[in-house]
A and B are shown apart, each in its own frame.
Chain A
Amino acid sequence: MIELEAQDLGIGYAGKRLVEKLNFTVHSGDYLCILGENGSGKTTLMKTILGLKAPICGSLEFGEGLKASEIGYLPQQADLQRDFPASVEEVVRSGCLGRMKLRPFYSRAEKALADERMKELGITALRRRCYRDLSGGQQQRVLLARAMVATTRMLLLDEPVTGLDPEVTKELYRDIEMLNKDQGITVITISHDVEEALKYATHVLYIGGRLFFGARDEYLRHIGGEAAREPENAAEGGHAE
C-alpha cells in the first residue's frame, strides 16, 4: 500500500532550489532512511513532506488518505525553545492535539496513551519534571514519546539520535524499530549515522550530489560499487527511480 509518492519533486526555501527531480515511494510499514551531507536539504525535504513547506515543483502525494493527524514528528532539538516552562507530561500529551479537532480537553484514553508511551520510553518518573531541566537524551525521549502519541500510521524523525550517548542511541533505535515492526508504523528518518541507520532501514534515499533511492541492499551494493568505480560511472547506478 503506497503511503507517500514523490514525482519529480523539487524542494528548497526562499526561492532557492536545493534538490530537484526527487522520485521515491514509501509503502506502508517501510523504514526509509534519508541520508546526505549537511545542508543538502534533508530537513527541508522532511518539512515538505510534513506540509510545513510547499514543494517548488513536481508532486508529493499521500496514498490512502493519510491525514496530518495520523503523523508523528520528532523535530531537531535546535528548533525548540529550551527555556519553555512545560512538564514532561504536558509535552507528551500535546501529541494528541492534532486528532482532537475542537474538543478542548484530553479524554481518558488519550491520557492513558500518553502514560503508556512514557512507560515504554522509561520517562514515567520524569513526568512532573520541567522539560528544560532534562538532559539532552531525556529531552529527546520526551519528544519521541510525543511523536509516538501523535502517530497512528507514520513517524518522521529528524536526526533522532543527535547529542545522545551510544547506549541511549541504541535504545532509541530499538524503540523506533519496535514501533515499525510491532505496530506496523511507517518510519521516515534523517540520519548522519549511516551504519546504524542501515541496520534498521528497509529503504534508503540519498540526497545531495547524486541521488539514490532504493532498498537497503541495493544501496549497499551501490556504495560498494561506487567505491570501486570512477565517480562518473557510479552516477548511473540505480538512481532516483
Chain B
Amino acid sequence: MNLFETIAYYFTFPFVRYAMIAGVFIALSASLLGVTLVLKRFSFIGDGLSHVAFGAMCIASILKFTNNIPFVLLITILTAVLILWGGKKVRIKGDAMIAMISVASLAIGYLLINLFKPNNPNLSADVCSTLFGSTSILTLSVGDVILCGVLSGVVVLVFIFFYHKLFAITFDENFAQATGTKVRLYNLFLAIIIAVIIVLAMNLVGSLLISALIVFPALSAMRVFKTFKSVTVCSAALGVFSAASGILVSIVAGTPVGSTIVVANLLVFFLFMIVGLFAGRGRA
C-alpha cells in the first residue's frame, strides 16, 4: 500500500474521521485562545491547569465515575477561576502559585492512584496515556471525540463573539475597565474557556503536552504578523495545520498522536522564526 492508500484505508473507519475532526477543532480553539494567553503573559496557566486536570482525572478514576469528563472539567474550571480571577488578591505571585498548584496536583494525583489502585496491572499505561495522550489514534474513544468536537465548536463561536472584547482586555486591561468593559467578567469567562480547552485537549495530546497546542501557534504567528487580527487568523491556521498533519503522520507512522502534533507545531515555529528573521520583522 502506498502512503495515500494507507491514509484512505484508515479514513474508512468512522472513529478515525471523528478523531481528525475533533483534533482539528481542539487545535483551532486552543490556538485562538493562545494568542490572548501568550499576550496576557498567561502561557504557564495552560500548563498548570493541565496538571490539575491530571490530578482530577486520577481522583475521578479512583471514584470510578462512568464518565470522567464532567468531574475533571469542574475541578479544572474552579482552579482556573481561582488563578485568573482571585489571583490578584493573593499574596503569592501568579507564576509561583501556578507552579505550586501544578506540581501539587501531579503529585497528589499520582500518589492517590497508587494508593487506591495498587493491583491494577495497567496503572503505568493509564498514567502514561493521561500524561502524554493516547498512544495511537486508534485508542481514542468515540464518545470523547464527539464531545471534544462539540465543545470546541462552542469555544470557537464564543471566541468569535467576544473577539473585540478579548482584544481590549488583552491590550490594555485598565483602559477597558475604566471605560466600562466588564473586565472581571471577561477574565472569568476566559478562565472557564481555558479550562474547557485543557480538558478537551487532554484526550488528544495528554496533560503534559497541552501547552504546546496553546502557545506554539500564537508564538509562530507573532514572529511574522503584526496586527491582532492577522496574528489570530494565522495562529488558528497554524494550529489546524499542525494538528492535521500531526494526526496524518501518526496514522501512517504509528507514532503517538500528541507528541507528533507537538513536534509538528515546533517545526512550524522554527520555520516562522526563520521567515520572521528573514523579513527583518523578527523579535528574536
Contacts and interface: CB of A to CB of B under 8 A. Distances in A.
B227 A87 contact: yes
Given A85-B222, A86-B171, A104-B161, A97 B228 contact: no
Given A94-B167, A97-B168, A87 B226 contact: yes
Contacts of B171: 80-81, 84, 86, 91, 94
A104 B179 contact: no
Contacts of A150: 175, 179
Given A68-B179, A81-B39, A87-B227, A94 B174 contact: no
B202 interface: no
Interface string B170-210: 11101111111100000000000000000000000000000
Contacts of A79: 172, 174
B163 interface: yes
Contact of B231 (A69, A85, A156): A85
Contact of B180 (A71, A75, A106): A71
Do most interface residues of chain A lie in helix, strand or loop, or is the interface mixed? mixed
A90 B179 contact: no
Nearest to A69: B180
A67 interface: yes
A51 B181 CA distance: 12
Nearest to B41: A81
B123 interface: no
A95 B181 CA distance: 10
A97 B178 contact: no
A182 interface: no
Interface residues of B, number: 29
B65 interface: no
Contact of A85 (B164, B178, B226): B226
B229 interface: yes
Interface string A31-71: 00000000000000001001110000000000000011111
Interface string A135-167: 000000000001000100000100000000000
B226 A98 contact: no
A133 B39 CA distance: 17
Contact of A130 (B168, B174, B175, B226): B226
Interface in B83-106: none
Interface string B27-55: 00000000000010000000000000000
A99 interface: yes
A232 interface: no
Nearest to B183: A52
Contact of A99 (B39, B174, B180, B225): B180
Contacts of B116: none
Contacts of B283: 83
A85 B39 CA distance: 9
A71 B178 contact: yes
Given A69-B179, A85-B227, A150-B179, A104 B172 contact: no
Select the residue from A84, A85, A94 with max chain B CB neighbours within 10 A.
A85
A111 to B, nearest CB: 12
A205 B243 CA distance: 58
Contact of B229 (A90, A95, A106, A132): A90
A217 B62 CA distance: 76
A206 interface: no
B160 interface: yes
Contacts of B230: 85
Contact of A90 (B160, B165, B175, B227): B227
B11 interface: no
A146 B168 CA distance: 11
Given A87-B227, A94-B164, A104-B160, A80 B178 contact: no
A84 B39 contact: yes
Given A104-B162, A104-B164, 12 more contacts: A50-B174, A71-B179, A73-B178, A79-B172, A84-B39, A84-B170, A94-B176, A95-B179, A97-B164, A128-B227, A146-B175, A156-B178
9 contacts: A69-B180, A71-B178, A73-B179, A79-B172, A85-B226, A90-B227, A91-B171, A94-B172, A128-B227
